[in-house]
C-alpha cells in the first residue's frame, strides 16, 4: 500500500494472476498493519524484589510472554581481580569472603587451600574437620534462606520467615566460633585462627536437630503444596548437556540429573571422603527439581555436620608457618563445591607476599549466563520462578 | 616436547625453615598422575603439533596450544576427551605492574612483585595469554587448563561460543578487561563496565585509582626526639610482612 | 486429587501449629540477647602496650587506622644504664566508617595492644563521628571479655 | 426504639452515615487482627508490640495518619483525573455492599428484596476502579497488574454468583433478612433447636463462595494482580499517601463485606436460635461480628499459607472446576428442594 506512486489509468491495470495463498497472506498483512502490536520492553531491576540484588533483566514481552531477555549485570562490580594484585594473602582473605556473602566461609576455603598447596603446607586434621564443619554450616545457612526465599518468590509469604528464623541459629553457631556472622575471616594459610569455644558441640547438635525439623516443615508447607508444584513443575528446564556447556554447576546441574559433586569427584580439598554422605540428583531439571535437590542437600549437610562432630580429632588448629608468608612461584587451580555451585581460584604466584594474578571463577556468573536461553517463550510470573530457582547472589555474579 | 620443569628458581629466603617442604612443593607441582598423562596423550594425539608446551600445576594438566588451533582444541576437548563442562575463559597479562611508588619511601602498602617478566607453567611467548579450564562431569571427571598466546600488537583470539555457548559472557568480560578481540563472538559488548568506559582495567599498566587518591596512613613517621639524636633514622623501616 | 487436598491441608496445619507455638522475637530495646564472647563488635586499644610500630596501620586493607607518635627519653631501667628512648602515642584513630571488622590489626599487633570487644551499640548520627580517638578506644577496654575456654580436644596455644 | 418518627429519609441518612463510619473501622480491625497479629504469629514473630502499649493496637491508626500526611505523588505522564478517581471507585463498591448487610432485625440500611443479587453486582464495580488505576498510572507494571486483575475478577464473578444460587433456592428469597429468617426457624430433620445454618446443607456452596471471594479480593493464592514479587504492587504501585489509604480501606473493607455476606448466607447472619425481637437488635451485631471473624480467619489463613497461582492456572481452575461444581450443586439443591 505504498502511496505516492502514480497509478496507471483504470482501464490499463496489468493483468495479474493472483494465487489464493497470496490473497490470504495479503489479508493477514492487512490485519497486522492495523493491529500493529509492538512488543513491550520491560525493565526487571536493578531495583526489583525478585533479583536478589542489582541484576537488571531487560525483557521484551509480547503480552505476558517473553520474546527475548537480556540480563544486564555489573551494578555490583567491585573489581576484585584487580584488587587482589595490590594485596597480601591475609588481606585477600577478608576480600574474597565478600563475593558470595551468604556462604562467605565457603569462599575462603578454596583460596586458602590453593595457597597452602603452593607452599606445600598441610593444615592439621582438626583444622580440616572444623573447616568442613563450618563450610557445611554456611551451606545450611544459604540453603535455609533459599528454601524460604523460593516460597516468597512464588507467592507464599510465610516460608521466608521460617527460613530466616532457622538460619539465625546457624549464624549464631558460626559467630560463636569465628566472631563474625557474615564475614568470618577465620581461615589462615596453614589452618585456622582459633579453636572451638567451650560448649559449641552441644549447641551445634541442638541446632542441627532444629535444622532437620525445619526441613520437614518446608517439605510439608512448600514441596507438598500442589499450587507450588503447579507453579514450578516443568518450568525452566535445563537439559544436562546444555547446562554443562554453559558452565551451570552445583544444585542447578544436579537437578538436571548430572551426578557431579566436587566434594566427592573434584580434587580432595577437605576430608569429605571420611564421611558417608549421598549426592542428590533429580531427573527433571525443572524449578521443582532444583528446590527438591537443595532441600535434600540441606538435610545431608546437617547429617554430615553431626558425623563431623562425632569424628573430630584432637590436636592443634594451626600448622607451623613462617611469620612472613612468601608463597613460592607457581600456578594452582582449586575449585570447590560451594553452596551456589563450583567456585574456583586460579592463583598465579611469583614468590611475593601477594599473588600476581587471581582468576576468581564464581558459580552464579555461569548459572545466570543461561538465562537468555531459558527465558524464551516464558510467562512473566515464570521469569520470577526461574530466577528464584537458579538462586544466584549478585556479589557472586559481579565480583 | 620438553617436560618443562616448573620448579621455582627463586629460592624464597623466608621459607628457609621448611627445606623439606620445598622438596614436596616441587614434586607436587610437577608429578602428573596416570589419568592426567593419559588425557594429555589423547589431546596430543588429536592436535599433533598444535600443542606447543605442556606442564603440570598441582595435579592439573596445563597445555599451551597455537593460537590458530584454539577453536579446534575446544572441539577436541568436548567431543573426544569428554570435557563437556566449561569452567571459564579468561586472560593473563604477564607484564609486571609499573611501580606506583618510588622505591625508598618505605611504602609497603602493595606487595613487592619481582620486576623481571617470568611466565608461569607451560610458558608464554608474549605479554597476553588467553586461558580456559574445561572439566568433565561424567566418567573420569578430569580437568584441563588450556592456554594460548595472543600477539601483543593485534590482540585477537578465536571465540569458543560455537563449541561452548557458556563462553559468551566469559569472552565478553575478557574483551572488556583485557582488550582481546574474539573472532566469531556474536556480540562483543560491555558486560560489567558502563558502555562509555575507556581503557581495559585488568591490564597491569592500568592504575588502581583508589590508591592514588588517599595518602597511605602507614607512611606517617614517628618524629625523632628533639635535640641530640635527631640524626638517627626515626623508625627502623620494619620489614613489613 | 486426594494427594492435592492432603497437601493443601498439611500446609494449613504447619501455619496453624506455628501460630500456637511461642514466637522467637527478642524485643530488642526491652529484652537483650548479648552476642557471643568472640563477637567482633569493636576494636579496643590498650595504650600502655602500644609502641607505635605502625604494623596495624600498614596491614589494614581499608587504610582506616591513623597513628601519630613521637619519641621520648625515659630513665634507664638499671641505674648505671643509658637513658632509653621510647615512642609515645599521640594519636591513634580508627575510622569505623571505613573499618570492615576483618581483625587483621588485632592479629598482627606484636605487643597485644588491640583487642576485640562484642560491644555493638556505638552508632552515630553523623558519619564523621565514627572516627574514634584513643581515649574512646581505651574506654572500650573494659568491655573486652576474658577469652573463653576451648572445646575438648583443642590444644590451647 | 426511637420514640418519635423522623421520617424514612433521615433514618436512611443516619444509617448511611453509620455505614460510612463503620467501613474504615472494620478495615482497621480486620487489618490489625489478621494482617498484623495473626500473620506474625503464624510466622513465629510477635508483630507490632510497642505502638499503643498492649500488643501494638495503635499501629494501624498510626499508619493511617502517616499515610494521610504523606505527599500525594502523581507521575508526570499519569492521566490525572482517572488517576485521582480510581481509588474512589474501588472504595465506592465497598460502601455499597454494606448497604444491604443486616446486623439485626431492624439494623440494615435498606432490606432490598434483591439483596444478595445487588451485593454481588455492586462488588464487581471494583474491577473498573482497578482498570482505571492500572491504566492511569502510566507504569508498565501497573498496566500488567490491572489487566490481570480484570481477567481474574471477571472470571470469578461466575462461580461467586453460582455458589450463592444454591442458598437462594433453599431460602426461597434473595432478601438477606429473609435468608437469615429462613435459617433461624428452619429445622434439620425435625429438630429446630439450632435453626438451619445453610453451611450444613450448602457446604459445597460455602467452599465455592470462599474460593471465589478469595479471588475477588485478589488475595493469595489468587494475588496475581498484586504480585509483590513480580509487579511490586500491581495496580497500586504508583499510589502514595491518602490514595493508597483508599486502596487499603477498599481491600480490607471488601474482605469484611464478603466475610459478612458469607456469614449471613451460610452461618445464619445475626441470628441466634433462641433470641427474637428487640434483644436481637442488641445482640445481632456482636453475633455477626463473631461469625465474620470466624470466616475472615479462614480467608486470611489461606492467604498466609499458599503460594500464588499463575493467571492461566487460576483461569483454568475457575472455568474447568469451580463453575461445573457450582452447576451440579445448584442441580442437586433444586432437586432436593422439589423433593422435600
Nearest in space to A142 (alpha carbons), one of A166, A108, A124, A125: A166
Q: Which of D42, D45, D307 to mutate to test the interface with C (most CBs of C within 10 A)?
A: D42
Q: Is A40 on the interface with D (CB under 8 A)?
A: yes
Answer whether residue B7 is part of any domain: no
Question: Which residues does chain C have within 8 Å of residue D42's beta carbon, measured at their own beta carbons?
Answer: 15-16, 18-19
Nearest to D305 among C15, C21, C23 (CB): C15
Per CB-CB distance under 8 Å, the chain B contacts of A248 are: 166
CA-angle at A339, arms to A337 and A342, nearest 5°: 35
Kindly determine whether residue C70 and residue B235, on different chains, have CB atoms separated by under 8 Å: no
Longest dimension (CA), chain D: 67
> Measured between alpha carbons, how far is residue A10 from residues A15, A16, A18, D40 in Å?
12, 14, 18, 79
Which chain C residues touch A158 with a CB distance below 8 Å?
15, 18
Contact across the interface for C12 and D45, Cβ inside 8 Å? no
- Which residues of A fall within a CB distance of 8 Å from C59? 88, 90-91
Contacts of C57 in chain B (CB under 8 A): 217-218, 220
Q: What pLDDT shows up at residue D224?
A: 86
What is the least distance, in Å, from the CA of A222 to any CA of chain C? 7
Where in chain C are the domains? 30-143
Q: How far is Cα B235 from Cα C67, in angstroms, rounded to an integer?
A: 13
ipTM above 0.95 for this complex: no
Q: Answer whether C40 sits within 8 Å of A162, measured CB to CB.
A: no
Let me know if residue B48 belongs to a domain: yes
pLDDT in the model for residue A288: 94
From B109, B145, B166, residue closest to A366, measured CB to CB? B166
In angstroms, the CA A289 to CA A285 distance is 6
The verdict on a CB contact (< 8 Å) between B240 and C68 is no
The tens digit of pLDDT for each residue in B60-96 reads: 889 999 988 899 999 999 888 888 999 999 999 988 8
Residue B18 has pLDDT above 70, yes or no: no
Place of cell 549464624: A171
Facing residue for C15 by CB, picked from D46, D49, D304:
D304
Which of A50, A155, A380 minimises the CB distance to D220?
A155
How would you label D217-228 residue by residue, b for 16+ Cβ within 10 Å and e otherwise? bbbbbbbbbbbb
Chain B residues with CB-CB distance to C60 below 8 A: 217
Q: How far is A45 from chain D (nearest CA, A)?
A: 10
Local confidence band at B13 (pLDDT 50, 70, 90 cut-offs): very low
Pairing of strands B156-158, B181-183: parallel
pLDDT at residue B205, rounded to an integer: 86
Among A48-57, D239-248, D270-279, which stretch is predicted with the lowest mean pLDDT? D270-279
Q: Is the Cβ–Cβ distance between A59 and A41 less than 8 Å?
A: yes
Say which residues have a Cβ less than 8 Å from residue A130's Cβ, sequence separation at least 6: A177, A192, A195, A196, A312, A317
Count the neighbouring beta carbons within 10 Å of the beta carbon of residue C2. Answer: 6
Do the Cβ atoms of D229 and A384 come within 8 Å?
yes
- Residue B6 in any domain: the answer is no
pLDDT tens-digit readout, D294-336: 999 999 999 988 898 888 888 999 999 999 999 999 999 899 8
Q: Between helices D7-30 and D80-98, what is the axis angle to 10°?
A: 110
Q: Which of A68, A52, A381, A53 is nearest to D144 (CA)?
A: A381
Chain C interface includes D40 (CB < 8 A)? yes
**How many helices, marked H, and strands, marked E, lie in chain B?**
5, 7
In a domain, B1, yes or no: no
> Would you state the cell numbers that stand for residue D161, as one nine-digit string?
454468583
B110 contacts in C (CB within 8 Å)?
Answer: none
Q: What domain count does chain B have? A: 1
In order of B3, B112, B122, the CA distances from B30 in angstroms are: 9, 26, 11
Share of chain D above pLDDT 90, in %: 25
- Please report the pLDDT score of residue A23 as a whole number: 65
How confident is the model at residue B131, as a pLDDT? Answer: 92
Distance from CA of C16 to the nearest CA of A (A): 11
Q: What are phi and psi of B147, to 5 degrees?
A: -125, 150
Cα–Cα distance between B150 and B124 in angstroms, integer?
9
Q: Give the residue among A262, A118, A284, A136 at the shortest CA–CA distance from A204.
A: A136
Query: How many C-beta atoms lie closer than 10 Å to residue A1's C-beta?
Result: 5
Q: What count of residues does chain D have?
A: 340
Does residue B88 belong to any structural domain of this protein? yes
Task: State the pLDDT confidence band at D107, using cuts at 50, 70 and 90.
Answer: confident
Q: What beta strand segments (E) does C58-143 contain?
A: 65-74, 84-95, 114-117, 131-132
The residue with greater pLDDT, C155 or C100, is C100
Question: Are β-strands B85-93 and B156-158 bridged in parallel, bridged antiparallel, or unpaired?
Answer: unpaired
Q: Which residues of A touch B92 (CB under 8 A)?
A: 348, 357, 359
Question: What residues of chain B have any CB closer than 8 angstroms to a CB in chain C?
Answer: 108-109, 214, 216-218, 220, 222-225, 229, 234-235, 238, 240-241
> Which residues does chain B have within 8 Å of residue C67's beta carbon, measured at their own beta carbons?
217, 220
DSSP H or E run through B131? strand B128-135
CATH number for C30-143 (one of 3.40.47.10, 3.10.180.10, 3.30.70.3270, 3.40.50.300): it is 3.30.70.3270
Distance, first Cα to last Cα, chain C:
63
Distance, CA of A167 to CA of A215 (rounded, Å): 12
**Cβ atoms D244, D67 nearer than 8 A:** yes
**Which residue, chain included where needed, has cell 554443562?**
A244
Identify whether the C-beta of residue D78 lies closer than 8 Å to the C-beta of residue D137: yes
Please indicate, yes or no, if residue B4 is contained in any of the structural domains.
Answer: no
A280 Cα to chain C: minimum distance (Å) = 23
C-beta separation of A54 from A62 below 8 A: no
Highest mean pLDDT among A122-136, B137-151, D52-66, D171-185: A122-136
- Residue pLDDT, tens place only, A135-180: 999 999 999 999 998 988 888 888 999 999 999 999 999 999 998 8
Query: Which of C14, C18, C25 lies closest to D46 in CB terms?
Result: C25
3-state secondary structure (DSSP) of residue B88: strand
DSSP state of D31: I
Contact map slice: A 267-326 vs C, CB within 8 A? 312-318
Q: Identify whether the C-beta of residue D259 lies closer than 8 Å to the C-beta of residue D296.
A: yes
Give A88 to chain C, closest Cα distance, Å: 9
Using one digit for the tens of pLDDT, what is the confidence trace for B197-230?
888 989 988 888 777 778 788 777 677 666 544 4
| Residue in B220, B225, B238 closest to C72 by CB | B225
Asked if residue D137 lies in contact with residue D237, where contact means CB atoms within 8 angstroms, the answer is: yes
Cα angle A60, A62, A64 (rounded to 5 degrees) comes to 95
Q: CB burial class (10 A; 0-12, 13-18, 19+) of residue A37?
A: exposed
* Comparison of pLDDT for A9 and D227, the residue scoring more: D227
- Which pLDDT score, from 0 to 100, does residue A64 have? 82
Q: Mark which residues 92-131 of B lie under 8 Å from A by CB.
A: 92-93, 97, 109-114, 118, 120-121, 131
CA distance A146 to B128: 40
CB-based contact B137 A253, cutoff 8 Å = yes
Centre a 10 Å sphere on the Cβ of residue B166 and count the other Cβ atoms it contains: 26
If contacts are CB pairs under 8 Å, which of residues 35-64 in chain C contact chain B?
A: 52-55, 57-60, 63-64
Task: Report the pLDDT value the prediction gives residue B108, as an integer from 0 to 100.
Answer: 74
Residue contact C39–A225, C-beta within 8 A: no
- In angstroms, what separates the C-alpha of D303 from chain A's closest C-alpha? 8
Asked if the C-beta of A154 comes within 8 angstroms of chain D's C-beta atoms, the answer is yes
Alpha helix (H) residue ranges in chain B = 19-30, 34-47, 70-79, 167-178, 209-213
Q: Which of A86, A258, A332 sits opposite B58 (nearest CB)?
A: A332
Minimal Cβ distance to B225: which of C64, C66, C85: C85
Distance CA C49, CA C114 (A): 9
A57 bridge partner residues? A44, A71
pLDDT score of D191 more than 90: no
Name the residue with cell 554450616.
A137
CATH number at residue B60: 3.30.460.80
Q: How far apart are CA B69 and CA B49, in angstroms?
A: 10
pLDDT at B33 over 70: yes
Nearest to D268 by CA among D188, D155, D179: D179
Give the whole-number percent of chain A exceeding pLDDT 90: 49
Residues 6+ away with beta carbon under 8 Å from C59: A88, A90, A91, B240, B241, C104, C105, C108
pLDDT (tens digit per residue) in D203-222: 899 999 999 999 988 888 88
**Of the candidate ranges A40-54, A231-245, B24-38, D95-109, the one whose mean pLDDT is the lowest:** B24-38
A67, containing H or E segment: strand A65-72
- From residue A313, give the alpha-carbon distance in Å to each of A137, A392, B234, C153, D123: 19, 35, 49, 7, 70
- The C-alpha atoms of residue D302 and residue D223 are separated, in whole angstroms, by 12
Closest residue by Cα to residue C42 from C107, C115, C109, C97 = C115
Range of the domain at B215: 13-231
User: Do B and D count as touching (3 or more CB pairs closer than 8 A)?
Assistant: no
Scanning every residue of chain A, which has its alpha carbon at the shortest distance from the alpha carbon of C2?
A: A226
pLDDT category of residue C82 using cuts at 50, 70 and 90: confident
Describe the crossing of helices D203-216 and D241-266 by its angle, rounded to 10 degrees: 170
- The set of residues, in sequence order, having a beta carbon less than 8 Å from that of A113 and lying 6+ positions away, is A123, A269, A270, A334, A336
Question: What are chain A's domains?
Answer: 49-398 (1.10.645.10)
**Assigned C-alpha cell, A375:** 527465558
Which residues in A lie closer than 8 A to residue C99 (C-beta atoms)?
Answer: none
Amino acid at each position: 500500500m505504498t502511496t505516492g506512486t502514480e497509478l496507471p489509468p483504470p482501464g490499463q491495470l496489468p493483468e495479474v494472476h493472483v494465487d489464493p495463498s497470496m490473497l490470504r497472506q495479503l489479508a493477514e498483512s492487512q490485519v497486522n498493519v492495523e493491529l500493529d502490536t509492538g512488543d513491550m520492553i520491560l525493565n526487571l531491576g536493578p531495583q526489583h524484589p525478585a533479583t536478589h540484588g542489582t541484576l537488571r533483566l531487560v525483557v521484551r514481552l509480547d503480552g505476558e510472554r517473553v520474546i527475548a531477555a537480556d540480563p544486564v549485570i555489573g551494578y555490583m562490580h567491585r573489581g576484585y581481580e584487580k584488587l587482589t594484585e595490590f594485596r597480601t594473602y591475609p588481606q585477600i582473605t577478608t576480600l574474597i569472603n565478600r563475593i558470595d556473602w551468604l556462604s562467605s566461609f565457603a569462599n575462603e576455603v578454596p583460596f586458602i587451600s590453593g595457597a597452602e598447596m603452593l607452599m606445600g603446607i598441610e593444615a592439621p586434621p582438626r583444622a580440616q574437620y572444623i573447616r568442613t564443619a563450618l563450610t557445611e554450616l554456611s551451606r545450611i545457612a544459604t540453603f535455609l534462606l533459599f528454601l524460604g526465599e523460593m516460597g516468597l518468590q512464588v507467592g507464599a509469604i510465610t516460608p521466608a520467615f521460617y527460613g530466616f528464623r532457622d538460619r539465625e541459629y546457624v549464624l549464631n553457631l558460626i559467630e560463636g566460633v569465628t566472631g563474625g556472622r557474615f564475614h568470618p575471616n577465620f581461615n589462615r594459610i596453614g589452618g585456622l585462627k582459633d579453636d572451638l569455644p567451650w560448649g559449641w558441640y552441644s549447641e551445634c547438635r541442638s541446632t542441627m536437630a532444629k535444622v532437620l525439623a525445619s526441613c520437614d516443615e518446608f517439605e510439608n508447607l512448600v514441596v507438598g503444596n500442589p499450587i507450588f508444584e503447579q507453579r514450578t513443575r516443568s518450568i525452566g528446564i535445563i537439559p544436562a548437556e546444555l547446562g554443562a556447556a554453559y558452565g551451570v554447576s552445583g544444585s542447578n546441574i544436579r537437578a538436571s540429573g548430572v551426578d557431579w559433586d566436587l566434594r566427592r569427584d573434584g580434587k580432595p580439598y577437605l576430608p569429605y571422603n571420611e564421611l558417608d554422605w549421598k549426592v542428590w540428583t533429580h531427573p527433571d531439571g525443572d524449578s521443582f527439581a532444583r528446590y527438591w535437590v537443595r532441600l535434600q542437600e540441606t538435610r545431608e549437610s546437617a547429617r554430615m555436620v553431626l558425623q563431623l562432630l562425632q569424628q573430630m580429632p584432637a590436636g592443634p588448629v594451626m600448622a607451623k608457618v613462617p611469620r612472613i608468608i612468601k608463597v613460592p612461584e607457581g600456578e594452582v587451580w582449586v575449585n570447590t563445591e560451594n553452596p551456589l555451585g563450583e567456585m574456583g581460584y586460579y592463583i598465579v604466584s611469583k614468590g611475593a607476599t601477594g599473588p600476581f594474578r587471581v582468576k576468581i571463577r564464581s558459580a552464579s556468573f555461569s548459572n545466570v549466563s543461561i538465562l537468555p536461553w531459558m527465558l524464551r517463550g516464558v510467562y512473566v510470573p515464570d521469569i520470577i520462578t526461574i530466577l528464584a530457582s537458579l538462586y544466584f547472589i549478585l556479589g557472586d555474579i559481579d565480583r | 616436547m620438553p617436560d618443562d620443569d616448573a620448579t621455582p628458581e627463586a629460592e624464597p629466603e623466608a621459607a628457609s625453615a621448611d627445606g623439606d617442604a620445598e622438596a614436596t612443593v616441587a614434586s607436587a607441582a610437577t608429578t602428573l598422575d596416570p589419568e592426567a598423562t593419559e588425557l594429555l596423550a589423547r589431546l596430543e594425539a588429536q592436535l599433533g603439533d598444535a600443542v606447543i608446551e605442556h606442564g603440570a600445576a598441582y595435579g592439573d594438566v596445563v597445555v599451551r596450544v597455537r593460537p590458530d588451533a584454539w577453536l579446534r582444541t575446544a572441539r577436541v576437548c568436548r567431543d573426544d576427551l569428554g570435557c563437556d563442562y566449561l569452567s571459564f575463559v579468561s586472560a593473563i597479562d604477564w607484564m609486571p605492574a609499573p611501580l606506583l611508588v618510588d622505591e625508598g619511601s618505605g611504602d609497603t602498602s602493595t606487595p613487592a612483585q619481582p620486576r623481571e617478566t617470568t611466565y608461569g607453567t607451560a610458558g608464554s611467548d608474549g605479554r597476553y595469554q588467553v586461558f580456559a579450564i574445561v572439566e568433565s562431569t561424567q566418567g573420569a571427571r578430569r580437568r584441563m587448563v588450556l592456554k594460548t598466546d595472543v600477539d601483543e600488537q593485534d590482540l585477537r583470539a578465536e571465540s569458543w561460543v560455537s563449541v561452548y555457548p557458556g563462553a559468551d559472557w566469559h569472552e565478553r568480560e575478557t574483551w572488556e578487561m583485557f582488550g582481546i578481540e574474539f573472532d566469531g563472538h556474536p556480540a562483543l559488548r560491555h558486560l560489567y563496565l558502563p558502555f562509555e568506559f575507556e581503557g581495559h582495567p585488568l591490564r597491569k599498566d592500568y592504575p588502581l585509582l583508589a590508591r592514588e587518591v588517599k595518602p597511605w596512613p602507614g607512611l606517617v613517621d614517628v618524629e625523632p626526639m628533639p635535640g641530640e639524636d635527631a640524626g638517627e633514622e626515626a623508625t627502623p623501616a620494619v620489614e613489613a610482612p | 486429587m486426594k494427594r492435592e487436598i492432603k497437601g493443601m491441608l498439611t500446609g494449613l496445619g504447619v501455619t496453624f501449629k506455628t501460630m500456637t507455638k511461642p514466637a522467637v522475637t527478642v524485643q530488642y530495646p526491652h529484652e537483650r540477647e548479648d552476642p557471643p564472647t568472640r563477637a567482633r563488635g569493636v576494636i579496643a586499644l590498650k595504650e600502655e602496650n602500644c609502641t607505635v610500630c605502625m604494623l596495624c596501620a600498614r596491614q589494614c586493607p581499608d587504610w582506616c587506622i591513623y597513628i601519630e607518635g613521637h619519641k621520648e627519653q625515659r630513665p634507664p631501667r638499671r641505674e648505671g644504664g643509658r637513658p632509653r628512648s621510647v615512642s609515645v602515642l599521640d594519636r591513634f584513630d580508627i575510622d569505623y566508617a571505613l573499618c570492615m571488622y576483618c581483625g587483621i590489626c588485632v592479629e598482627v599487633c606484636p605487643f597485644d595492644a588491640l583487642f576485640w570487644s562484642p560491644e555493638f551499640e556505638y552508632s552515630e548520627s553523623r558519619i564523621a563521628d565514627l572516627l574514634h580517638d584513643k581515649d574512646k578506644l581505651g574506654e572500650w577496654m573494659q568491655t573486652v571479655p576474658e577469652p573463653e575456654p576451648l572445646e575438648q580436644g583443642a590444644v590451647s596455644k | 426504639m426511637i420514640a418519635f418518627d423522623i421520617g424514612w429519609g433521615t433514618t436512611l441518612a443516619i444509617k448511611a452515615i453509620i455505614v460510612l463510619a463503620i467501613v474504615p473501622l472494620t478495615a482497621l480491625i480486620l487489618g490489625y487482627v489478621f494482617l498484623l497479629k495473626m500473620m506474625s504469629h503464624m510466622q513465629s514473630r510477635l508483630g507490632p508490640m510497642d505502638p499503643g502499649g498492649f500488643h501494638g493496637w495503635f499501629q494501624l491508626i498510626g499508619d493511617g495518619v502517616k499515610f494521610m500526611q504523606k505527599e500525594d505523588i502523581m507521575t508526570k505522564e499519569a492521566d490525572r483525573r482517572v488517576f485521582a478517581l480510581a481509588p474512589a471507585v474501588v472504595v465506592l463498591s465497598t460502601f455499597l455492599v454494606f448497604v444491604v448487610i443486616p446486623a439485626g432485625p431492624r439494623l440494615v440500611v435498606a432490606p432490598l428484596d434483591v439483596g444478595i443479587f445487588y451485593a454481588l453486582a455492586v462488588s464487581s464495580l471494583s474491577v473498573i476502579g482497578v482498570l482505571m488505576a492500572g491504566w492511569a498510572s502510566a507504569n508498565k507494571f501497573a498496566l500488567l497488574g490491572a489487566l490481570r486483575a480484570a481477567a481474574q475478577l471477571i472470571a470469578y464473578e461466575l462461580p461467586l454468583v453460582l455458589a450463592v444460587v444454591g442458598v437462594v433456592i433453599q431460602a426461597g428469597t434473595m432478601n438477606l433478612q429473609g435468608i437469615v429468617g429462613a435459617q433461624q426457624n428452619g429445622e434439620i430433620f425435625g429438630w429446630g433447636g439450632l435453626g438451619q445454618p445453610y453451611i450444613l446443607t450448602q457446604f459445597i456452596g460455602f467452599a465455592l463462595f470462599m474460593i471465589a471471594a478469595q479471588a475477588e479480593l485478589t488475595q493469595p493464592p489468587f494475588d496475581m494482580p498484586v504480585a509483590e514479587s513480580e509487579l511490586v504492587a500491581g495496580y497500586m504501585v504508583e499510589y502514595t499517601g491518602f490514595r493508597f489509604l483508599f486502596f487499603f480501606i477498599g481491600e480490607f473493607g471488601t474482605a469484611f463485606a464478603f466475610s459478612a455476606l458469607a456469614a449471613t448466607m451460610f452461618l445464619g447472619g445475626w441470628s441466634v436460635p433462641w433470641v427474637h425481637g428487640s434483644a436481637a437488635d442488641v445482640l445481632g451485631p456482636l453475633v455477626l461480628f463473631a461469625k465474620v471473624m470466624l470466616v475472615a480467619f479462614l480467608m486470611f489463613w489461606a492467604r498466609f499459607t499458599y503460594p500464588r497461582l499463575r493467571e492461566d492456572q487460576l483461569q483454568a481452575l475457575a472455568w474447568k472446576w469451580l463453575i461445573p461444581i457450582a452447576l451440579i450443586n445448584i442441580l442437586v439443591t433444586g432437586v432436593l428442594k422439589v423433593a422435600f
